[in-house]
Amino acid sequence: MSEIIQNMLKPIPIPPVVRIRQKFDASKLDDPLAVLIEELKRPGAVDALRPGQRVAVAVGSRGIANIAGITKTTIDAIKAAGANPFIVPCMGSHGGATAEGQAEVLKHLGIDEASMGAPVESSMEVVEIDRLPNGLPVYVDKIASTADAIIVINRVKPHTAFRGPIESGIMKMIAIGLGKQKGAEACHQLGFKYMAEFVPEMAQVMIKKLPIVFGVGAVENAYDETCHIEVLPADRIYEREVELQKMAKSRMPRLLFDQIDVLVVDQIGKNISGDGMDPNVTGRYPTPYAFGGPDVNKIVVLDVTKESKGNANGVGTADFTTRRLADKMDFTATYLNGLTSTVCAPTKLATTLESDELAIKAAVKTCNVLDFTTCRLVRIRDTLHLGEIEISVPMLMEAREHPDIEIVSEPYEWKFDSEGYFLR
């Protein structure tokens, strides 16, 4: 980087910060797997299976609390019914859109043949089973299409790019996850403007045409813990998911400040959000068809998680990033997201500075405040972990007056190493 830019940013002050604790509804299931065991005994669940049937268990790439346990519990119940389960990666274009990559994603989540007691059958091959009235093809994983029964597991939560009664959950998992890369591409073909229509429409076609027996839907609280789990028989998936979506929105973590000058995000990644960082938290959306969250002037992204394997989707939604992130970026894996979803702005590389310190100073300099020492600055680990965060001292008075915020430190200055990266 030229000395001109370094000299320009050198005098920019970073205000002192304090650590705070944001308080959310922490109610959760004490034993979600015990609840699931009882749910699986309900009519329309494993009682609908027959001995000897081949049962595809569709599992996705999201970082879902207890996902390995939920999957294993479901598989054990299928076996107890005398059926033969196998696992199908159900994740659109994730895992680099390769069969090996998708199986590896599941392995990182603790889901493989050794731990689950069921084989993982991964393929990107699909078959077209129908078309919507507008001509969009409906695809399904070829291996899953040969199963006698299909069960889908997913978390129900708000989507990051559109709004509707059905957003991200079992229906989306069926339409896009089971459709693999081709299905995801078809569902996104006409843009997010119509996704609230296409996701449930495609899913309903697939439920009608395929032996989908039930879904396992989980809802998490603001601390990434399971607060609800439910078996949704195929004929009730839409009806129940609408209600679970409302529950999920009411339990989402958020930043308890309406206006932020600079938001610093330590890490993004596909294991955190499909968008790298959840726009429902940052208020920065990749499309005009979703809304909510704080008014943030500038966003800084410092790193990408190891689990994301260089997929830095979402970095383009930020204003500034670091050389460290840029050097880790797998452009092929990242670009696949944009090419599949048709939303390419999040896969661009944000303005790149040589270190954490310079990226943050650049954001402070450009956040449109007259006095940099008054900058309303927030730092979070990622958009999944919002319990304890850092805020700048100019926000302290507002924080003290908020009933759901606890101040847990005295003011302090951030410390950086000789290369300008945070001392960990």
> In this predicted model, what pLDDT tens digit does every residue of 100-110 receive, in sequence order?
889 988 998 89
pLDDT of residue 66: 93
Which pair of structure tokens corresponds to residue 259?
């206006």
Question: Residue 382 carries which side chain, given as an amino acid letter?
Answer: D
**Residue 361, C-beta contacts closer than 8 angstroms, at least 6 positions apart:** 9, 10, 12, 14
Gap between the Cα atoms of 90 and 360, Å rounded? 37
Which pair of structure tokens corresponds to residue 130?
């129908």
Residue 168, by phi and psi: left (phi above 0), alpha (psi -120 to 50) or beta?
A: beta
DSSP state of 176: I
Mean pLDDT, rounded, of the chain: 93
pLDDT of residue 290: 83
pLDDT band at residue 196 using 50, 70 and 90 as cut-offs: confident
Helices 195-209 & 237-251, crossing angle to 10 degrees?
A: 140
pLDDT of residue 387: 92
pLDDT of residue 258: 96
What's the average model confidence in pLDDT over 223-228? 93
List the strands of the sheet with 212-220, edge to edge. 84-89, 54-59, 149-155, 212-220, 226-233
* For residue 1, pLDDT beyond 70: no
Share of the chain above pLDDT 90, in %: 77
Determine the 3-state secondary structure of 282 from DSSP: helix
Count of CB atoms situated within 10 Å of the CB of 72: 18
pLDDT band at residue 250 using 50, 70 and 90 as cut-offs: very high
What's the average model confidence in pLDDT over 386-400? 97
Determine the 3-state secondary structure of 249 from DSSP: helix
For residue range 318-350, what is the model confidence (pLDDT) as tens digits? Answer: 999 999 999 999 999 899 888 888 889 999 999
* For residue 241, pLDDT beyond 70: yes
Domains with residue ranges and CATH for the chain = 3-24+253-407 (no CATH), 32-251 (3.40.50.11440)
* For residue 2, pLDDT beyond 80: no
pLDDT band at residue 13 using 50, 70 and 90 as cut-offs: very high
pLDDT band at residue 191 using 50, 70 and 90 as cut-offs: confident
Gap between the Cα atoms of 7 and 345, Å rounded? 30
What's the average model confidence in pLDDT over 249-266? 96
- 237 or 61, which is more confident? 237
User: Is 304 within 8 Å of 271 (Cβ atoms)?
Assistant: no
What's the average model confidence in pLDDT over 47-62? 93
User: Is 203 within 8 Å of 5 (Cβ atoms)?
Assistant: no
Question: Residue 316 carries which side chain, given as an amino acid letter?
Answer: G
* For residue 96, pLDDT beyond 80: no
**Which pTM does this prediction carry?**
0.81
What's the average model confidence in pLDDT over 58-79? 92
* For residue 359, pLDDT beyond 70: yes
pLDDT of residue 289: 83
- Residue that the structure tokens 């209600």 belong to: 243
What's the average model confidence in pLDDT over 177-188? 83
Which pair of structure tokens corresponds to residue 10?
């050198």
For residue range 120-135, what is the model confidence (pLDDT) as tens digits? Answer: 999 989 999 999 998 8
